[in-house]
Amino acid sequence: MTKYNADNERIKRKYFAYLKEAIRNSEATVDAAAKALARFEAHTKYKDFKAFHYEQAIAFKNYLAEQKGQQSGEKLSKATLHSTLTQLKRFFQWLAWQPGYKSRLQYSDAEYFNLSDKDTRIATTQREQKAPTLEQIKHVISTMPHQTDIEKRDRALIAFTLLTGARDSAIASMKLKHVDLIENCVNQDAREVNTKFSKTFNTFFFPVGDEIRVIVTEWVTYLREAKLWGNDDPLFPATRIALGASMQFEVDGLDRKHWSNATPIRTIFRKAFTDAGLPYFNPHSFRNTLVRLGEEVCKTPEQFKAWSQNLGHEKVLTTFLSYGGVACQRQGEIIRDLATPQLTMQSGADEFAEAMLKKFRAAGVGMQANSV
């Protein structure tokens, strides 16, 4: 059976170039579009896109709703359905304006990829983002072995993620020169570091405990002084795999090159949390932890603005909207507290007024009513 359509491939390449170069979408977004189209083509048996009709959209939408995830074995979530169908809708809307397709396709047919209003609300509702507590992260780090080079790297990796809140894709691309142990900061230079939206900014070490900072400092010092690595060497090098005495491939220390992506970092996190007897939290969840810590320690708007910038957010609103929802437990505490303070507040105000009156009397200031 044919698993390829030459005309489809040509127009898809044009679309992917449009997403990347014109719309400036990330590689991840382009990949998501490619996966959605691959799913759709497989369902239509690689029928030419010129034959697209709204009935295909309805049929695929119904088909997708019955599919199960490979890992979970359960039906795909509404969020997955929504993201896949949205990618397809955008593609066919774009396609309807392209030469050779414009006369064949109806722009409005792409609307049939829409989910119901109810399913769309379920898919797009902001849910509380789970994050480990500071104590949980420190427990994980404290239980990690650190004898071999690999063990040292893995422990320092988790400590560094907490200390800086850096994204895993950025960490995978960082070099030793990006860490300044004198100023206690990291220069996330977008020319070399894979930052979100290619932003360049400095991140100063968050106040999460001296023991965390020491682990990172010792790791950087170890690479520079014991391993004699230089500025352009990776901060967290990949694992070297070599042919062992048993003629099988096995771990052989550190490789002097970067990871090609962040997948190994997430694998290290998963193992560390599992070994510590805790549920898995991915690297990005540490940013949520740091936002909640900032809500506790920052006392002024200027302080929270600095905290927000340290996470790479240009606007404080980004921190609040993306990460800063009040945790459900804290929400309950606040609402319960608001139910009782009225009497206490009035009592406190009366006590304050009485104290001020005594001061006035002691100072010989008369309290006389004004005559009008």
Q: Is residue 359 one of the residues assigned to a domain?
A: no
User: Of 85, 102, 124, which residue sits at a domain end?
Assistant: 124
The CATH number linked to 161 is 1.10.443.10
Q: Is residue 339 one of the residues assigned to a domain?
A: no
DSSP three-state, residue 243: strand
Q: Is residue 140 one of the residues assigned to a domain?
A: yes
For residue 280, which phi and psi values (nearest 5 degrees)? -70, 130
- Angle between helix 149-164 and helix 210-221 axes, rounded to 10 deg: 130
**Do 52 and 161 fall into the same domain?**
no
100-135 pLDDT tens trace:
999 999 999 999 999 999 999 988 876 666 899 999
Task: Give the span between the Cα atoms of 251 and 88, in whole angstroms.
Answer: 42
**Do 173 and 252 fall into the same domain?**
yes
Q: In sequence order, what DSSP letters do the residues of 77-111 get, joined into one string?
A: PHHHHHHHHHHHHHHHHHHTTSTTTTTT--GGGGG
Task: Give the span between the Cα atoms of 122 and 82, in whole angstroms.
Answer: 10
Rg of the chain over all Cα atoms, to the nearest angstrom: 28
**Do 262 and 149 fall into the same domain?**
yes
Closest by CA position to 165, among listed 326, 44, 322: 322
DSSP three-state, residue 290: helix
Q: Is residue 245 one of the residues assigned to a domain?
A: yes
Q: Where in the sequence is the domain holding 57, given as residue range(s)? A: 6-124
Q: In sequence order, what DSSP letters do the residues of 229-283 get, joined into one string?
A: --TTSBSSPPEEEEE-TTSSEEEEEE-SS--SSSHHHHHHHHHHHHHTTS----T
- Number of domains composing the chain: 2
**Do 279 and 153 fall into the same domain?**
yes
- For the chain, 372 residues long, give each residue's pLDDT as a single digit of tens: 568 899 999 999 999 999 999 998 888 899 999 999 999 999 999 999 999 999 999 999 999 999 988 777 889 999 999 999 999 999 999 999 999 999 999 999 999 999 999 999 988 876 666 899 999 999 999 999 999 999 999 999 999 999 999 999 999 999 999 999 999 999 999 999 998 878 899 999 999 999 999 999 999 999 999 999 999 999 999 999 887 777 677 777 899 999 999 999 999 999 999 999 999 999 999 999 999 999 898 888 888 888 888 998 765 555 555 555 556 565 556 546 656 644 444 455 455 556 555 654 555 544 443 333
**Judging by DSSP bridges, how do beta strands 201-204 and 239-243 pair with one another?**
unpaired
Task: Report the percentage of the chain scoring pLDDT > 70.
Answer: 82
Q: Is residue 148 one of the residues assigned to a domain?
A: yes
Q: Is residue 367 one of the residues assigned to a domain?
A: no
Q: Kindly state the DSSP code that residue 115 receives in the 8-state scheme.
A: P
Which tokens in the block code for residue 144?
């990690």
Task: Give the span between the Cα atoms of 274 and 282, in whole angstroms.
Answer: 12
201-204 β-sheet, strand order? 179-180, 185-188, 201-204
User: Of 124, 146, 176, which residue sits at a domain end?
Assistant: 124
Q: In sequence order, what DSSP letters do the residues of 154-190 get, joined into one string?
A: HHHHHHHHHHH---HHHHHH-BGGGEETTTTEEEE-T
Q: Are 89 and 95 in contact (CB under 8 A)?
A: no
Task: Give the span between the Cα atoms of 95 and 101, in whole angstroms.
Answer: 7
Task: Give the span between the Cα atoms of 71 and 252, in whole angstroms.
Answer: 31
Task: Give the span between the Cα atoms of 192 and 230, in whole angstroms.
Answer: 15
**Do 117 and 147 fall into the same domain?**
no
Q: Is residue 81 one of the residues assigned to a domain?
A: yes
Which tokens in the block code for residue 7?
């005309």
**Do 109 and 249 fall into the same domain?**
no
Q: Is residue 362 one of the residues assigned to a domain?
A: no
Task: Give the span between the Cα atoms of 230 and 157, in whole angstroms.
Answer: 18
Which tokens in the block code for residue 21?
């170069």
